[in-house]
Chain A
């Protein structure tokens, strides 16, 4: 039987980052990954000789080289990376499009402010107040954290259209809660998207994942692929043994799981007496269209377009298989690269209903993918150039795909609506990181792993590990 200081479940961004921290300080650490590849929610694959990225369209929390504050700078220091290691290239510019009105934004918050002031002149002072509130917000006590962001923002911003337009990108990029959002999450997302910004490596997310794995292995960490956890044996309030699908038994002093709260507790052979937590309900369908041209030559010149075609922006599990009334259109080509990507691509993401996808017969599933692909693209080309004649290949992934690769119940992309900010569980040596801990986005996920490793597994006596949440603030 192998013995470790810490066993980490999941080789996604959070598990890998936690693994680096622990291995750096000479802990015996093993990362278990059920799949044949790393990345979890943010991954990549190759079909028909073409590379595809899965997961977030862009790295949020982007700050330029030389910036010493904010989550990206802190993360690089914690993981001992140079800024150049992630090869982040800033976005060209993005848009939030609602009926009759568009707001543009880029990585300069003052530009977004000028857009808001121009289109909502009556909200100028209110928007300033909101920005200050968000920048100052750092209270992570759980009661404040889960306050209704809808309620708090509506007290500051009067125009419901502006409220909806602000919420739309933040919800699509990290909100697990239907209809509303935790105020902590709203603040984190507002800063990461509007006040910091979007970027992407030319080679895609895989470059970041590969750097993480390389560093983890160089430091002596062990990564086991195809190593799904079948169960965890529990005795006297502690995990005593981790049993893999193939029967292999592992022992560790502690376990850090990025598999999700509900999913992790279910692995324990004696489920602890805890209030059941709701699994998330929000899932996505994403379509990827490969083009024989650069998107900008087809009238798709923005980095990301968040669209909504209705009076109200609805953020909940749709009745239909896909809600095509709103969505996100991303062109990975439209970042400020020194040379263009070799293939044009448009990715479209929309809310989806897991149960309806799940109930499809195998014979219906492919047909459903094809027909919803067409409807999503049809919806999207109302807001960007009609790229359909240039499509040479496409792929679509559904809530079923998300469930298979993330293990999240219901294919819930952003996990459970109630977050576990301190990472603890009822078991003394079992901790949670990743999506269900609460920090979101690629930088947030990595920070989640770092913060939980520091706090619980490196025995740091400290309180200031709230990393991503204190982005825009001076650290004491």
Chain B
């Protein structure tokens, strides 16, 4: 998966979690927590979704890497580069 595809996956996950949000206006470099008021239960859901969909395991110490879209994609790129987008 390319970084652009990983971003699509994350957007798809966010769309599922917060279907009422307009994600088109999401900024890549501003914390998701600030933009969408996501809380730690929601971040855990992002982690669970990645595990469910792609069997990607994210250790708890790394959750901090999911702060913004930019940091999330950067963090996931080495882990997901050999996976196919479904």
Contacts and interface: CB of A to CB of B under 8 A. Distances in A.
B39 A476 contact: yes
Main secondary structure, interface of B, reads helix
A77 B40 contact: no
Contacts of B42: 74, 77
A80 B38 CA distance: 14
21 contacts: A25-B52, A66-B20, A68-B36, A74-B39, A76-B20, A77-B18, A77-B38, A77-B45, A80-B16, A80-B17, A80-B19, A454-B41, A454-B44, A460-B44, A462-B40, A464-B40, A464-B41, A465-B41, A467-B41, A475-B37, A475-B40
A460 B37 CA distance: 20
Interface string B14-26: 0011111000000
Interface residues of A, number: 25
B37 A476 contact: no
B52 to A, nearest CB: 6
Interface string A69-113: 100011011101111000000000000000000000000000000
Given A66-B20, A82-B20, A458-B48, A476 B60 contact: no
A73 B17 CA distance: 11
B52 A26 contact: yes
Q: How large is the interface on B (under 10, 10 to 19, 20 to 34, 35 or more residues)?
A: 10 to 19
Interface of A: 25-26, 65-66, 68-69, 73-74, 76-78, 80-83, 454, 458, 460-462, 464-465, 467, 475-476
Interface of B: 16-20, 36-42, 44-45, 48, 52, 60
Contacts of A77: 17-18, 38, 41-42, 45
A251 to B, nearest CB: 24
B13 to A, nearest CB: 11
Contacts of B16: 80
Main secondary structure, interface of A, reads loop
A62 to B, nearest CB: 15
Nearest to A465: B41
A165 B18 CA distance: 38
Give 6 closest A-B pairs by Cβ, nearest first.
Answer: A68-B37, A475-B39, A464-B40, A82-B19, A77-B17, A83-B20
Contacts of B18: 77
A460 B39 CA distance: 14
A25 B40 CA distance: 18
A77 B20 CA distance: 9
A434 B16 CA distance: 26
Contacts of B17: 77, 80
Nearest to A459: B48
Contacts of A467: 41
